[in-house]
Amino acid sequence: MSLFINNENISAQIENFVKRNGGEYIDAVLYVCEENEIEPKAAVKYLTKPIIEKLEVEGRNLNILPKKSSKLPI
């Protein structure tokens, strides 16, 4: 378990995981949560805006989140 859990530390661990192992940010977040013994729900407060944006893009690409539409509903 990491002694210092903060935004920069968690984000650095996530980025390092993705660089070392490739794969998705979603997998990296789950791995880092497990290593630091924190629940994924609780980890949200430690994620930086760039990590959140990358997760949103992945979620849309994997059809987990709805795609953003630039069209107005008719």
Question: Cβ distance 59 to 65 under 8 Å?
Answer: yes
Q: Name the phi and psi angles at 69, rounded to 5.
A: -110, 135
Find all residues with CB under 8 Å of 70, minimum gap 6, and list them. none
- Residue 63's pLDDT is what? 86
Task: Tell whether the model's pLDDT for residue 69 goes beyond 80.
Answer: no
Report the predicted TM-score, pTM, of the whole model to 2 decimal places: 0.79
Which domain, by its residues, includes 45?
Answer: 7-61
Residue 44 counted as domain residue? yes
- Residue 17's pLDDT is what? 96
- The SS3 assignment for 31 reads helix
Give how many domains the chain has, as a whole number.
1
Model confidence over 25-67: pLDDT tens digits?
999 999 999 999 999 998 898 899 999 999 999 999 988 888 8
